[in-house]
Structure 1
Amino acid sequence: MRTRTDAQRASRRSRRRQAVRRELLYLALCAPGLVALILFNYVPLFGVVLAFKNFRPRRGIWGSENVGFDNFAYLFAGDAWRITRNTVAMNALFIVATLVVALTLAILINELRDRSPLLTKVTQSAMFLPFVLSWVVVAHLATAFLDARSGLLNQLLDLVSLPAVNWYAEPSYWPAILTSVDLWKGVGFWVIVYLAGILAINPSLYEAASLDGASRWQQTRRITLPLILPLITINVLLSVSKVFNADFGLFFQVTQNSPALYPTTDVIDTYVYRALTTTGDVGMAAAAGLYQAVVGLVLVVGANWYVRRRSADNALF
């Protein structure tokens, strides 16, 4: 009996060694990504301690005075509500607008695919091009439209005898402006994602529906949307996970960091940046960053819990 057990153990060890050797190439390919993940995502977590210290560079992180939750108290006594409201509200606008526009365009392009392949390719390329532009370039293009003296929008207003608007001093217009800019730059990527999901649907389903007399709208509503719903759910969940992480380039570059626009465009990321560059308060900046991370985690876990209750197959975890 002992000899048989030893033989079984030796056989299992041999199979494990063979499996490791067989998968060694894949493990080697994963290694750079794992190293980068650890270096840039887990090692910096030790910096969380700065949120609870009155950081002084001469004393270092561990030598600086512990202040408990004083940094958070100062943050919440000041601008926490404004930057939280702006961050969540703007990201919610971006998520809804991108979802609706990207889905609509993907469905339209899919309808054009068989009728005009050339037009489909041109349209896809034109929509995707802004995605690869930097926010600095996009900010200059926005200035060409919004400049108070020579901007295209004010010239159009002048043509219809309407007064010019100083766009960079009017915060009420900027939720719509930033949503439009974010759509123009990023919607092409999401169109490709949803179009890929639509193309993965079995064409025989549409053929059968067509034979049964279903219109194109009925096919879209009964076949396309239900079958890409898991893809939509995953994308929305991933977007919700970043609802507390505003795109710094969009909110800083496009708005030209104009103080007049802070009531509607000042978000957590720009607030942390100013805390570091103007006041040098590392502790308060770290507190804002930790607050951003914790609430973002709570949101994505809550959203995933809700999706799991409705449809466990569509949840992320």
Structure 2
Amino acid sequence: MPEPAKRRTRSRGKADAARPAAQSRIRREIRMFRKNRELLVLALPGILFKLVIAYVPMVGLILAFKNFRYDQGLFGSKWVGLDNFEFLFKAQDAFRIIRNTLLYNFTYIVTGTVAALLFALLLNELSGRMIKMYQTTMFLPFFLSMVLVGYIGNAFLDFDNGYLNKLLGYVGISPHNWYLEKTPWIFILPLVALWKGVGFSTLVYYAGITGISPDYYEAATLDGATRVQMMLRITLPLLKPLVIILFILGLGNIFRGDFGLHYFIPNNAGPNFPTTDIIDTYVYRALTKLGDINSAAAVGFLQSVVGLVTVVSANSIVRRIDRDNALF
């Protein structure tokens, strides 16, 4: 038999052999859907909600590559490629806002992780009644809107009637006009972010601690280990996978700043822009003044892409060091 005919025969044989396997897989999937149809019906509203809220609007990403005109519509507007992305990198303050965004977000991730772990370990040492009180107290700021937090911050930082200036006056220090100064915001913003978000992260880590088997601690107690030794040798190592996962997810937003925090807390005051301005606040002001939705869409798309690349890169590094602790 000629060689081409033999090849065709072998290919046909492989296709015939693969067909029953594919049909068997389809039958298994159909059986799985039938078996879990009640659960799938229960999940359907959540799936539809996610589809409509998160995926259908992604069609609007095309704005990042077009010169949008209302009379021509989303798909009829002129395609301009990557021209809209020049808005961010050609801006006069591009280096400043990118630097601030990256440094602030990295600070928030590190300080939030360390503080949440510390509080979770301390909560684990308290009695049940005290835990309920501390959990509620720490978790409440998480539910406050940034507008309300901005008013709370103003109550402390106001030049004439702020609590902080009054406290400084009691110890003989002249009052500060905080909204017109640059340096203090390097410390104020991380403190506000920590106060508002540490409660939620603490509960996540505390939930991880409660999931650790008590047998480890009982065995360590019999061996004469102290509470500090049990924290260092049992609790923290077993929490490592959770810490890594949350850290990687946090890196996904490292190029996307907290708009509410950086807009409402500094009161959008121009003199403190060098230390408070980030990409999101800069784009917002440009959008409200110029009405350039194309550039705003391009910056948002770029932030998402950088976040995706950061998460994948961080996960790849973790997978090379310790494959079991990687996110995917």
Alignment pair present for 1:38 and 2:51: yes
The answer to whether the 8 A contact 1:53-1:65 is kept is: yes
Change over 3 Å in CA distance of 1:13–1:106 after alignment to 2: closer
Q: Which of the residues 176, 190, 208 maps onto 1:179?
A: 190
Query: 1:283, 1:11 → 2: CA distance?
Result: 49
Give the number of aligned pairs. Answer: 308
Q: Which of the residues 258, 266, 281 maps onto 2:292?
A: 281
Q: 17-26 or 163-172, which moves further after superposition?
A: 17-26
Q: Which of the residues 112, 122, 126 maps onto 1:98?
A: 112
Q: TM-score, normalised by structure 2?
A: 0.87
Query: 1:306, 1:146 → 2: CA distance?
Result: 42
By how many angstroms is 1:245 displaced? 2.1
Q: Tell me, which stretches of 5 or more residues in structure 1 are unaligned? A: 1-7
What secondary structure sits across from 2:256 in the alignment? coil
The answer to whether the 8 A contact 1:268-1:292 is kept is: no
The structure that has the greater radius of gyration is 2
Q: Which of the residues 136, 156, 162 maps onto 1:125?
A: 136
Q: 249-258 or 54-63, which moves further after superposition?
A: 54-63
What secondary structure sits across from 1:55 in the alignment? strand
Q: Which amino acid aligns with 1:156?
A: L
Query: 2:120, 2:85 → 1: CA distance?
Result: 44
Query: 1:225, 1:11 → 2: CA distance?
Result: 46
What's 2:61 paired with? Answer: 48
What's 1:87 paired with? Answer: 101
Q: Tell me, which stretches of 5 or more residues in structure 2 are unaligned? A: 1-20
Query: 2:311, 2:24 → 1: CA distance?
Result: 44
Alignment pair present for 1:188 and 2:202: no
By how many angstroms is 1:93 displaced? 0.8
By how many angstroms is 1:11 displaced? 9.3
By how many angstroms is 1:208 displaced? 1.2
Query: 2:227, 2:130 → 1: CA distance?
Result: 20
1:99-178 alignment, distance < 5 Å: 99-113=113-127, 117-178=128-189
Query: 2:69, 2:24 → 1: CA distance?
Result: 59
1:272-308, Cα deviation, whole Å (9 max, x unpaired): 2222211101111112112111111111111010111
Query: 1:33, 1:87 → 2: CA distance?
Result: 33
Change over 3 Å in CA distance of 1:169–1:204 after alignment to 2: same
1:52-86, Cα deviation, whole Å (9 max, x unpaired): 22222223223333333222223211133222211
Root-mean-square deviation (CA, aligned residues, Å) is: 2.2
What secondary structure sits across from 1:112 in the alignment? coil
By how many angstroms is 1:15 displaced? 6.2
Query: 2:153, 2:46 → 1: CA distance?
Result: 36
% same residue:
50
What secondary structure sits across from 1:256 in the alignment? coil
Change over 3 Å in CA distance of 1:13–1:251 after alignment to 2: closer
Q: TM-score, normalised by structure 1?
A: 0.90
Q: 218-227 or 80-89, which moves further after superposition?
A: 80-89
Query: 1:14, 1:63 → 2: CA distance?
Result: 44
What's 2:314 paired with? Answer: 303
What's 1:19 paired with? Answer: 32
Change over 3 Å in CA distance of 1:144–1:11 after alignment to 2: closer
Change over 3 Å in CA distance of 1:99–1:11 after alignment to 2: closer
The answer to whether the 8 A contact 1:307-1:315 is kept is: yes
Query: 1:9, 1:254 → 2: CA distance?
Result: 59
1:73-84 alignment, distance < 5 Å: 73-78=86-91, 79-84=93-98
Q: Which amino acid aligns with 2:115?
A: V
The answer to whether the 8 A contact 1:245-1:268 is kept is: yes
Query: 2:56, 2:315 → 1: CA distance?
Result: 27
Change over 3 Å in CA distance of 1:213–1:166 after alignment to 2: same
Query: 1:275, 1:202 → 2: CA distance?
Result: 53
The answer to whether the 8 A contact 1:275-1:282 is kept is: no
Q: Which of the residues 37, 41, 53 maps onto 1:28?
A: 41
Change over 3 Å in CA distance of 1:286–1:161 after alignment to 2: same
What's 1:71 paired with? Answer: 84
Query: 1:305, 1:142 → 2: CA distance?
Result: 40
Q: Which amino acid aligns with 1:50?
A: L
By how many angstroms is 1:30 displaced? 2.2
By how many angstroms is 1:266 displaced? 1.6
Query: 2:176, 2:140 → 1: CA distance?
Result: 30
What's 2:268 paired with? Answer: 257
